[in-house]
Amino acid sequence: MTKLSLAVLLLAAAPALADEQTIALKDGPGREVVANNCAACHSLDYIQINSPFPDEKLWRAEVTKMISVFGAPIDDADAKTIVDYLAKNYGKGGPS
């Protein structure tokens, strides 16, 4: 790809990138652990898109899937913190 082609491509994508908004996770214990671990692989939009449907059991299954299927490098302590945070802040019966 030539430099000119790359420049045109980047300029064409600029309006889409300008509309991108940063996701602000709800405040609470574990927020930084979630942000650091989850955003390393995907947008934090997925958390808000999926809530409030999952309960703790489903969030646990999702975190386990990210580790065992997709190879997310999350240790057991962080996995528990992530599940606890998501269940409390983005799960059925949690705060809205």
pLDDT for 6 equals 52
Whether 9 shows a pLDDT value over 60: the answer reads no
CB 29 within 8 A of CB 38: no
pLDDT for 92 equals 84
Domain annotation for the chain: domains and CATH numbers: 23-90 (1.10.760.10)
pLDDT: is 11 or 32 the higher one?
32
In three-state form (DSSP H/G/I as H, E/B as E, the rest C), the secondary structure along the chain is CCHHHHHHHHHHHHHHHHCCCCCCCCCCCCHHHHHHHHCCCCCCHHHHHHCCCCCHHHHHHHHHHHHHCCCCCCCHHHHHHHHHHHHHHHCCCCCC
pLDDT: is 10 or 83 the higher one?
83
pLDDT for 48 equals 85
Q: What predicted TM-score, i.e. pTM, was given to this entire model?
A: 0.74
The Cα–Cα gap between 32 and 19 comes to 24
